[in-house]
Amino acid sequence: AQSVTQLGSHVSVSEGALVLLRCNYSSSVPPYLFWYVQYPNQGLQLLLKYTTGATLVKGINGFEAEFKKSETSFHLTKPSAHMSDAAEYFCAVSGGTSYGKLTFGQGTILTVHP
């Protein structure tokens, strides 16, 4: 079985500040990890994914995440927040025989203040 925990349902930052959204996972098989973003009234869009290889993954819009097996974490960061980053972010895991079926965290709403 797999599960994802996102620490903090709401995160608020100032424009230009560091964005850090936390994600911890549990998986009995090597995990494949994803971050998705959802803007209001839109579907989910893939930001980045980790499958194998380099543990620091770069995605769209300046976001990156680092897979840390020892900490079972896959935190999402961005050095400088923009107003347009305001959205809900979901961490997800798949792996093993799940055939790409995603197990999502509860989501983190990011607010960016001017």
Q: Which residues bind other proteins (CB under 8 A)?
A: 32, 36, 41-46, 49, 51, 90, 92, 94-96, 98-107
Smaller CB separation from other proteins, 12 or 51: 51
CB of 9 to other proteins, least distance (A): 10
Nearer to other proteins, 33 or 81 (CB): 33
Cβ-based nearer residue to other proteins, 36 or 74? 36
Q: How far is the CB of 32 from other proteins (least distance, A)?
A: 5
In the complex with other proteins, the residue whose CB is nearer, 73 or 94, is 94
Smallest gap from Cβ 75 to other proteins, in A, equals: 19
Cβ 8 to other proteins, closest distance in Å? Answer: 14
Instruction: Tell which phi-psi region holds residue 59, choosing left (phi > 0), alpha (psi between -120 and 50) or beta.
Output: beta
Assess contact for 36 and 45: CB atoms under 8 A.
yes
